[in-house]
Amino acid sequence: MSLVIFVLLRLAPGNMVDILFSTGGYVSESDKAAIEKELGIDRPIWVQYVDWLRDMATGKLGKSYRYDLPAWELIKPLIPVTVELAVLSTIIAILLGVPTGVISAVRQDTSLDYVLRVFSLAGLSMPSFWLGMVIILALVAWIGWIPPITYVSPAENFKIHLVQFLLPALAVGYRSSALITRITRSALLEVMREDYIRTAWAKGQSGRIVIWRHALKNAMLPVITVIGIEFAFLIGGLVVTETVFNLPGVARFLVQAILWRDYPIVQNIVMFIAIVVVLSNLLVDLLYGWFDPRVRYG
């Protein structure tokens, strides 16, 4: 993954020096060569790659070209913002998506089922950043209040911080919950046709026990997979949402670093996202064994 990140970034046209000189409106070859040597991008590609691996192994992560500061000092305060927003969005998506998916499956082909399916389809159709802007406009129009336009840390004011994150989390979580609803519904409908579910009904067990203890637990494997994929996607896919709500997160900073060809920042942020994806898939595999004994003892 590190090799793919490194090579693809350098295949993009232009570098930091080209952008600096194009912005200044003039080109001096001697000055350009001096800056390239200072940044270290005049060396062979394989040497730069080995240096990056050495920096990651020692925890230095290199220095930003644009800010002339260690990359870790710039990235470190941004990670909690994106992770907090992704976790809140995932929690909202689970709390909203799983129950509605269960209700939709149990009430299959009823008016309530059709309403919940339209509700989930609307969530899949609306971009989360657009819904976020609608929420802001609605708050301004109805109660004359707008969320803080600058980031407020929880240590400074926890209540404002919670509101500041709850609004984008609702917008993003609604979209993710729509997908979870549809997956939960289809998986639960398939499980409820199994013989052991019919046996549970025949033994006279209550509907709540049959649905929530027997059927849902066996239908959760595809749902867990979707939840893990959605969480990993949110870590790097909150660019526009963070911009709309003016949150200083990793995704928003990544786009800025790409525009400036700030190689150390881009490489380390994308590598962080890749690690989150790998760990999310590992956690999903571990949860398989907890939810399904057949996986644990197979």
pLDDT digits (tens, 9 = 90+) for 248-257: 888 888 888 8
Q: Which residue has the tokens 């295949």?
A: 11
With 80 as the cut, is the pLDDT of residue 190 above it?
yes
pLDDT of residue 93: 92
Confidence class for position 99, pLDDT limits 50, 70, 90: very high
* pTM > 0.75: yes
pLDDT of residue 26: 60
pLDDT digits (tens, 9 = 90+) for 165-181: 888 898 888 988 999 99
The separation between the first and the last C-alpha atoms of the chain, rounded to the nearest angstrom, is 31
pLDDT digits (tens, 9 = 90+) for 11-37: 777 676 766 666 656 666 777 777 777
Q: Between 291 and 116, whose confidence is greater? A: 116
- Which structural domains are found in the chain, ordered by start? 2-75 (no CATH), 79-248 (1.10.3720.10)
